[in-house]
């Protein structure tokens, strides 16, 4: 299937959407089966994928009344970068499956809304091009390759392009079993490149009669022996802050802090170990372990402004969107991602006001009933 740009009617429907669920429906409708399977699939039976969202709904808010909320402020910062509201874009592969402008559209939308984009190693667009579109609001996500010089080259490229942090994904020594991708033999369309993750020819050479092309490519590249010892090597390459993405326990959060790394609470969107703890359920013990020594971020299941407040109340500094940004991208390119961020920003502001809070700094655990 060759992607086309959204029609005027589709863009009008996008602007009429009033929540992220409606944008998801619009985005899904524009994707072929190959892309939809890749974006939507969770591991195995999808228990963790569902729990990411369901566990947010189980937490109740304790709003305060008769508070002056005539001037509510949603601003914050991550690693010194000011954000207009505490929401960024999580790394996800292959934005070109959703829209012809791919990661460039996502980066422009994030920059325009005062957010930050994390670019996947498995992007369809070179780091340098995305960095220009992101206008200084870019982090780079890294997998550690078996060939360390390839990873070192990516780190140098990212730093030279202006990335402000390195996000090392630590939960993927092997790819989780995403059965829809296996069943339908996920493959990257011929017109898409993977400029940061190997050649188009390397991908094509892995085509077989069964299974996911991506899994075979990934396992040929990424080093499953990655351990805490490798962080010193990574830190020797660059002075950029390092964030470990995929932390789900207090024990690993403490080790991250000891190694001078920030913590990203993530279960890869429920795509790795099924029945693993949801991110919002894991967050309290991680926040207690980190105890303010490093910044904490979270992805997984965020679909409402109230979800953002709950994550911040439990210790996250900001949350990051994976699938919602992709649904917006599919629905309307840059306009679609922008609409996702605009809706969520409005919901964060309203949730703050209705909770009796003037700013994010007033959000703590006293806001919640667990």
Residue 278, domain CATH:
3.20.20.70
The whole-angstrom separation of Cα 228 and Cα 284 is 23
Whole-model pTM: value is 0.95
The whole-angstrom separation of Cα 266 and Cα 324 is 15
In-domain check, residue 354? yes
Please check if 245 is assigned to a binding site.
Answer: yes
Higher pLDDT, 202 or 270: 270
Note if 268 is an active site residue: yes
For residue 368, give the H/E element and its range. Answer: strand 368-369
Q: Is 294 helix (H, G, I), strand (E, B) or coil?
A: coil
Please check if 143 is assigned to a binding site.
Answer: yes
In-domain check, residue 67? no
What are 246-300's pLDDT values in tens digits?
999 999 999 999 999 999 999 999 999 999 999 999 999 999 999 999 999 999 9
In-domain check, residue 369? no
Instruction: Report the Cα 68 to chain-centroid distance in Å.
Output: 34
In-domain check, residue 231? yes
Signed CA dihedral, 214, 218, 220, 224: sign only: negative
Of 95, 99, 262, 268, the catalytic one is 268
In-domain check, residue 172? yes
**Burial class of 53 by CB neighbour count within 10 A (0 to 12, 13 to 18, 19+):** middle
Residue among 32, 57, 49 nearest 370 (CA): 57
Alpha helices in 191-263 (DSSP H): 200-204, 213-221, 230-237, 250-258
In-domain check, residue 104? yes
Q: How many domains does the chain have?
A: 1
Q: Does residue 136 have a pLDDT over 80?
A: yes
Please check if 209 is assigned to a binding site.
Answer: no
The pLDDT value recorded for residue 176 is: 87
Q: Is 328 helix (H, G, I), strand (E, B) or coil?
A: helix
Domain region containing 29 = 8-61+75-358
For residue 157, give the H/E element and its range. Answer: helix 148-161
Two structure tokens written together for 312: 């911040």
Other beta carbons less than 10 A from residue 123's beta carbon: 28
What are 4-17's pLDDT values in tens digits?
889 999 999 999 99
Are residues 334 and 108 in contact, defined by beta-carbon separation less than 8 angstroms? yes
Residue among 57, 54, 30 nearest 42 (CA): 54
In-domain check, residue 69? no
Please check if 266 is assigned to a binding site.
Answer: yes
Q: Does residue 215 have a pLDDT over 90?
A: no
Are residues 279 and 298 in contact, defined by beta-carbon separation less than 8 angstroms? yes
What are 178-200's pLDDT values in tens digits?
887 777 778 888 889 999 876 54
Please check if 322 is assigned to a binding site.
Answer: yes
């Amino acid at each position: 299937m060759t992607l086309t740009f959204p029609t005027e009617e589709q863009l009008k429907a996008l602007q009429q959407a009033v929540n992220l669920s409606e944008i998801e429906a619009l985005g899904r409708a524009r994707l072929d089966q190959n892309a939809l399977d890749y974006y939507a699939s969770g591991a195995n039976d999808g228990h963790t994928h569902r729990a990411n969202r369901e566990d947010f709904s189980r937490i109740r808010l304790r709003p305060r009344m008769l508070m002056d909320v005539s001037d509510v402020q949603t601003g914050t910062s991550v690693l010194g970068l000011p954000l207009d509201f505490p929401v960024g874009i999580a790394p996800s592969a292959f934005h070109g499956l959703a829209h012809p402008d791919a990661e460039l559209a996502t980066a422009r939308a994030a920059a325009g809304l005062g957010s930050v984009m994390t670019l996947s190693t498995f992007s369809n667009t070179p780091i340098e091009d995305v960095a220009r579109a992101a206008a200084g609001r870019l982090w780079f996500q890294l997998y550690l390759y078996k060939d360390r010089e390839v990873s070192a080259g990516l780190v140098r490229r990212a730093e030279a392009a202006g990335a402000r942090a390195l996000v090392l994904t630590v939960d993927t020594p092997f790819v989780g079993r995403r059965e829809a991708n296996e069943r339908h033999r996920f493959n990257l369309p011929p017109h898409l490149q993977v400029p940061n993750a190997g050649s188009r020819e390397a991908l094509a050479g892995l085509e077989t009669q069964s299974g996911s092309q991506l899994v075979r490519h990934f396992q040929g590249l990424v080093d499953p022996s990655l351990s805490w010892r490798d962080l010193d090597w990574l830190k020797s390459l660059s002075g950029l802050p390092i964030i470990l993405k995929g932390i789900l326990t207090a024990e690993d959060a403490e080790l991250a802090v000891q190694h001078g790394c920030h913590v990203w609470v993530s279960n890869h969107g429920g795509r790795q170990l099924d029945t693993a703890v949801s991110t919002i359920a894991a967050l309290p013990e991680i926040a207690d372990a980190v105890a303010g020594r490093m910044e904490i971020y979270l992805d997984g299941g965020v679909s409402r402004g109230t979800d953002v407040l709950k994550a911040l109340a439990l210790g996250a500094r900001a949350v990051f969107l994976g699938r919602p940004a992709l649904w917006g991208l599919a629905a309307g390119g840059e306009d679609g991602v922008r609409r996702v961020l605009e809706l969520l920003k409005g919901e964060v502001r309203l949730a703050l006001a209705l909770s009796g809070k003037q700013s994010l700094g007033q959000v703590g655990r006293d806001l919640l009933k667990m």
